[in-house]
Amino acid sequence: MQSSIFDLTGKRALVVGGAGEIGYAIAEALLEFGASVMLVDKDPDTLIKAKDLNRKWTNCFGCIVDISDRDQIDESIRQTVMLLKGSVEILVNAAGIQRRHSSEIFPDLEWDEIISVNLTSVFLYSKKVSQEMISHGYGKIINVSSIMSQFGGINIPAYTASKGGVAQLTKAMSNDLAAKGIRINAISPGYINTNMNKALLQDSDRTAKILNRTPIGRWGTPSDLKGVSVFLASSASDFLTGTVIPVDGGYSGM
């Protein structure tokens, strides 16, 4: 029996980017603590991953969505309410893509793509889902930013701009919605061992520099984000809003 302060039994969660490694790990954690979950992702394996989770915990569904398409965002929210049999109480914005080019040659179309997926979708999902949350006077929104919201990075101007935007959007929306019962916070992952960072992991010089600056002495894993996600989704964080929590092995403290 889970401690009541972290218990999510009966809560309905929408995880945007739920088929990605970080989103999937967060969905696992929410399911483990009792929530029903809808995975939303462009990945064609979204439905398969939802079925895999459903076999273990039940009450997990999937919806394939291009979150750069506003009509599809609206439809995914409708599908979520229908399948979860009620309004969303926990929204996780975990979608993210990456492209690497030096700033002076960064392609305009790739800039637009990253801003649309990494930042605009966060605003649109938060805006639309929070409208229903307000009517019930309760809701938890968890955005996945990045420690690149604090640092410039190398060859990732669009990603850095988008994740910096997510951090600031978290603060702005929390100011607007806190009095209406909505708590909005962000997780700021450090260097996490995912497919997005595959090229970086293969760069021995960069990897050595990252590890030398990380007091814990290793790269993070998607599972390292589970605990903080449950905390932010549960009543344990009811007096917390507008924060950006680094989960980076101590990297940003150096």
What tokens appear for 10 in the block?
């009966």
Helices (H) and strands (E) in the chain, counts: 9, 7
Helix axes 226-233, 21-32, angle to 10 degrees: 60
Q: What is the pLDDT along the chain (254 residues), one digit of tens a residue?
A: 445 899 999 999 999 999 999 999 999 999 999 999 999 999 999 999 999 999 999 999 999 999 999 999 999 999 999 999 999 999 999 999 999 999 999 999 999 999 999 999 999 999 999 999 999 999 999 999 999 999 989 999 999 999 999 999 999 999 999 999 999 999 999 999 999 898 888 889 989 999 999 999 999 999 999 999 999 999 999 999 999 999 999 999 98
159 vs 54, 75, 140, CA distance in Å?
Answer: 32, 27, 25
Give residue limits of the domains in the chain.
Answer: 4-247
In tens, the pLDDT along 63-107 reads 999 999 999 999 999 999 999 999 999 999 999 999 999 999 999
The pLDDT tens digits for 120-139 are: 999 999 999 999 999 999 99
Positions marked active-site: 159
pLDDT at residue number 254: 83
Please give the CATH topology (third level) of the domain spanning 4-247: Rossmann fold (3.40.50)
